[in-house]
Chain A
């Protein structure tokens, strides 16, 4: 067994290197695997809504208006510092009955000299109440392209689930608008093939 201690040591070292490099490579990939894992854990294990489409009509129609209860909904509008837009809610605050369909408006204006595509990311506070806030129609479901100087009045139609926990008296709906350069690039590419042909 100890006939060849040098060789034994070299084989041992090679084994350590092999295992360590495999572990390192696996952990490097794990960093990237965190991206899907994060989505799966958030949506399926923790029940957090990461991406929101419109709430289904069947779900919303089943709600009964709870006229005995009033909830204050506050509206906040922000733009990312890289986006030269003005963006604000028309009404800062509304009082609604849970279960009642409500319409609110935001105003956006492109103050730059070029067309810009923006995308609004919504957020509801307190976070525990976000599951009970249903948007039926929202400008945040699609990209918004504003030409230079153009302004747009944008609706959001929502219903608060009557099962909203009783301790929640105020909900805050906030949007942050980001420039979606990816969509702008795609639009430019879609337009580009026509240009050389013409």
Chain B
């Protein structure tokens, strides 16, 4: 395969041999591909875990697994999906697209780029190996609250080291992205002409550098509490377990924006293309991103309203949280006004983008509901919260990633895919994702707690429906894989500008994008940058 391609485009200078091409690669496109393949593998593992969870919850009572194993599944599902699937997928998209979008020949620090990817498989081998250890995998929830998490086996030491590695990988990736965006833009590509996807990643990278070290510190304290006799969070030794929750969520809340800001960027690329109009309110979109990123640092305690806090604290965190709805609303309305009176067509990427706008907004609404202190006392730790964060992470972040892959696939491979199959994949996913997650709102309002393997028979019907949705969703990675595999083999050749309304530098290079692009900086033509604010 590699030799085939090499004889075909010998000017591509792809390294020969599997190891040279993939293990030692410093090419941003190869590393982007590696990240995306890794992320796809992790999605499948995480989905298998959620399959165990939903199969057990299909009926009340214990049928399939023991409670401890069930808790291992909920914990590992979250860690795998957050750190293994969503975050690497966005980093992979950044690797592929940021240099192409700003006219750079590669990432600024290619050797570090290779390193930041290849740390990840080791981190996840460490994490997943805990499933086979005596004492089992961590089962205290992905939030790792002490004292519960410290009562598990030695698996938590492996989890903590895995998190350290993931943190190092993400920070190196973030440094690379910032350096690329600040130093490698083609002449004429001003900051306020950059595509919104690039902006979203610039801001996300700052968030990563600011908060991942805090998580590293928190889990280090857990480690020393368990093995070295410290009492940071140990009440018997004068520590305070509530303090862990404050430190964790100081990381955790910016983390949820790390997982959604790049999605905002992707949607801001796809919607204008298929509406054939420039993005409405480009500058407002950029400022809204920065505003959300800033606010994410001062709202952490809304995850712990019921833990105990002075009234003034509850009020501050409630109002600050509700304030985030303002910049988020700016973004949603700007996508709507971009579509307004546009020449809309509904190719597969556009369908995913529109579904994102609608379904992410549902997740945003339930977020505002949980921000309200008196109401949150009812929602805390129920399935309502589960429904909320799956709407923003599955139908939000994951749908945007799938949309992005469908959108840029022709650029990556030079092949179109079967649009009809893409639409079947889309409608199948939308229907079953809603069957899966919507009833969980009702379960939560009725009082079903999260992270439990058994429940009151009163919750049986909605759980049954939800599990049917989960089994439907289980087919989607296979559909996606088949569509892409078929396209790679038999797809029609794609044009350089694969989509009619596509603008931006990435569409000025041939499809598939040659191994080395923009070795000489391109001339930036403002009229072809229609996604940016080009009026200035």
Contacts and interface: CB of A to CB of B under 8 A. Distances in A.
Interface of A: 9, 12-13, 16-17, 20-21, 23-32, 34-35, 38, 46-48, 50-51, 80-82, 118-119, 121, 127-128, 176, 178-182, 185
B217 A46 contact: no
Contacts of A50: 240
Interface in B202-220: 209-218, 220
Contacts of B229: 181-182, 185
Contact of B178 (A20, A28, A31, A81): A20
Contact of B243 (A38, A47, A80, A176): A38
A178 B240 CA distance: 13
B175 interface: yes
A38 B216 contact: no
A143 B194 CA distance: 63
A128 B175 CA distance: 45
Given A9-B184, A13-B183, A34-B250, A176 B235 contact: yes
Given A16-B182, A48-B310, A9 B213 contact: no
B216 A34 contact: no
Nearest to B148: A81
Nearest to A119: B236
Contact of B183 (A9, A26, A80): A9
A5 to B, nearest CB: 9
B246 A51 contact: no
B374 interface: no
A74 to B, nearest CB: 18
B47 interface: no
Contacts of A12: 179, 182-183
24 contacts: A9-B108, A12-B183, A16-B178, A20-B178, A27-B210, A27-B211, A27-B212, A27-B213, A28-B214, A28-B217, A29-B217, A30-B213, A30-B214, A30-B217, A32-B217, A34-B243, A34-B247, A35-B232, A38-B243, A38-B246, A47-B310, A176-B235, A181-B236, A185-B229
Most buried by A among B174, B214, B215, B234: B214
B183 A16 contact: yes
Given A12-B179, A46-B313, A20 B108 contact: no
A198 to B, nearest CB: 28
B183 A127 contact: no
Nearest to B211: A27
A30 B210 CA distance: 10
A20 B171 contact: yes
A77 to B, nearest CB: 15
Given A13-B108, A31-B216, A46 B151 contact: no
Nearest to A185: B229
Contact of A121 (B179, B235, B312): B235
Given A13-B179, A16-B178, A24 B313 contact: no
Contacts of B171: 20, 24
Interface majority SS (helix, strand, loop, mixed), chain B: helix
Contacts of B134: none
Interface of B: 108-109, 147, 151, 171, 174-175, 178-179, 182-184, 209-218, 220-221, 229, 231-232, 234-238, 240, 243, 246-247, 250, 308, 310-313
Contacts of A16: 108, 175, 178-179, 182-183
A29 B229 CA distance: 20
Given A28-B216, A32-B221, A38-B246, A121 B236 contact: yes
A121 B231 CA distance: 14
Contact of B151 (A26, A48, A81, A182): A81
Nearest to A20: B175
A134 B247 CA distance: 30
Contacts of B250: 34
Contacts of A30: 213-214, 217
Contact of A35 (B214, B237, B243): B243
Given A31-B215, A31-B216, A178-B235, 7 more contacts: A13-B179, A17-B175, A17-B179, A27-B210, A31-B247, A34-B214, A46-B312
A128 B232 CA distance: 25
A179 B236 contact: yes
Most buried by B among A20, A28, A176: A20
Given A127-B308, A182-B231, A20 B217 contact: no
A80 B178 CA distance: 47
A31 B236 contact: no
B235 A23 contact: no
Most buried by A among B151, B217, B238: B217
A181 B150 CA distance: 15
Contacts of B214: 27-28, 30-31, 34
A10 to B, nearest CB: 9
Nearest to B174: A20
Most buried by B among A24, A35, A80, A118: A24
Contacts of A119: 236
A105 to B, nearest CB: 22
B109 A182 contact: no
Contacts of A51: 238
A80 B246 contact: no
A143 to B, nearest CB: 9
Nearest to A125: B308
B321 to A, nearest CB: 19
A32 B215 CA distance: 10
Closest 5 CB pairs of A and B: A31-B217, A178-B236, A28-B213, A12-B183, A27-B213
Contact of A13 (B109, B232, B238): B109
B251 to A, nearest CB: 8
Contacts of A81: 151
A178 B312 CA distance: 31
Nearest to A180: B236
Contacts of A176: 235
Contacts of A179: 236
A80 B313 contact: no
Given A13-B109, A17-B179, A23 B210 contact: yes
